[in-house]
Amino acid sequence: MKSHMTLVALSVLLTLANCGKNATQQQTATTTPALATTTTATQPALPPPAAATEEVGHYAENLYDWGRTGDWTKAQADLSALKSAVAKLQGTGVVADMQATNEHIATIEKAVQAHDARALMHAANDMTRVAGEISRQFNPQVPVEVTLLDYDGRELELWSEEGNTAKLNETRTRLQETWNTVRPALVAKGGTTEATQFDALVAQLTKAKTAKDFAATAKPILDSVDLLENVFTRA
C-alpha cells in the first residue's frame, strides 16, 4: 500500500514537471521571434547612387592620407577602389558631371603612378569636394557643408605647408561662409557646445596672418569636424 502511494505521488510529480516544461517551451517559442527581430534589425541601406557617392568620398579621403604618409601600396589599392566606385556611380545614372569626375580620377592616377605626394593630396582632396557636391541631391544625414568644412580644413593644411597666402585667404573666406550656412542646423540638432567650440576656431582663423598662423588652425578644425558629424548622426 505504501509502495503504491509512493508510485502515485511520483506520477503526479512527473506530470506537473512536464506541464511546466511545456509551458516554458511555448513561452520561449512565442518570445524568440520578437527577440530575433530586435537583434537583427539594421539601418536601411542607402540607395545605390548615394552609396556609390559615399564610397567615392571615402576612397578619395583615404588617398589624401596615403599621399600624406607616402604609402603607395595602399594608394594603388584605393585608387582601384575609387575607380570602381566612380564606375558604379556612373552606372546608376546619377546627375553629375562625369567628364569632370573622370578628369579628377586621371589626375589622381597620374600622381599615384609618379609617387607625387603633393599632387595626390591636392587631387584627392578635390575629389572629396566633388563627391560632397554630388551627394546634395540625396539629402545626406550629415549636411554637405560639414563635408566641405573637412575639405577646407585639408586645404588649410596643404596651402600653409606650401606657404600660399593667397590660397589660404581664399580658403578662409570659403570656410567662414560654409560655417555660417551650417551652424543653425547644427544648433537645431543639439550641437550648441560643438558650435561654440567651432566658433572659437573660426575666430582664431580670422586673425591668421602668416602661413604658420593658418597651420595652427588646420588640425583643430579637422578634429572638430568629426565632432560636428557626430551631432548629425547620433540618435
Round to whole Å and give the CA distance between 128 and 77.
17
Q: What is the pLDDT of residue 24?
A: 42
Who wins on pLDDT, 22 or 218?
218
- Written as one string, the DSSP assignment of 43-54 is PPPPPHHHHHHH
Provide the 8-state DSSP code for 136: G
The string of pLDDT tens digits covering residues 54-111 is 999 999 999 999 999 999 999 999 999 999 999 999 888 888 888 889 999 999 999 9
pLDDT in tens, 147-195: 999 999 999 999 999 999 999 999 999 999 999 999 999 999 999 999 9
- Four-way CATH pick for 46-140: 3.40.50.880, 1.20.120.290, 3.40.50.1950, 3.30.70.1150: 1.20.120.290
3-state helix, strand, coil in the chain (%, to 5): 85, 0, 15
User: Lowest-confidence range among 107-116, 199-208, 226-235?
Assistant: 226-235
Average pLDDT over all residues of the chain: 85
Any idea where the domains of the chain sit in the sequence?
Answer: 46-140, 141-235
Range 40-57 average pLDDT: 78
Whether pTM exceeds 0.85: no
DSSP 8-class letter at 14: H
